[in-house]
Amino acid sequence: MPDYMFSPHGSLASVLHGTKEPLKWKVRFKIALGIAEGLLYLHEGCHRRIIHRDIKASNILLTEDYQPQISDFGLAKWLPDKLTHYVARPSPSSWLPLLWFSPSPSRARPCPKFSRQPLCVFHGRHPPHLL
């Protein structure tokens, strides 16, 4: 069971799309970096590696100092020790447009939903408005 700190700011989605004033760039960068570090820990640092499979703004909780916490592991999978790669089959809306037209699937990023998160964080808009 994950251990979460209190998240007074709620989810990243509520902060980005709420009525409060926009986040400063330094805070946005801290959030994006924290999400990347959290995913790296899940993929490579855990005793049993975890693939989250549902990274999105509503599944990122923010502590009082805007430290991101990855939540909602309902779709998560264990990555067996012997596997070095995991191929997910995300919905087309999960991929950035530049990846839709990639000449080779091997050029696709291993975590397509995460590739949208920096866009969400830095622009403060839902991904469909960015595509």
- The residues assigned a catalytic role are 54
DSSP letter at 23 equals: P
DSSP letter at 65 equals: T
Q: Which long-range contacts (CB under 8 A, 24 or more apart) does 33-42 make?
A: 34/67, 34/68, 35/60, 35/68, 35/70, 35/114, 35/117, 35/121, 36/114, 38/68, 38/69, 38/70, 39/70, 39/111, 39/114, 42/70
For 37, 49, 109, 127, 128, the CA distances from 112, given in Å and listed in that order, are 16, 18, 6, 12, 14
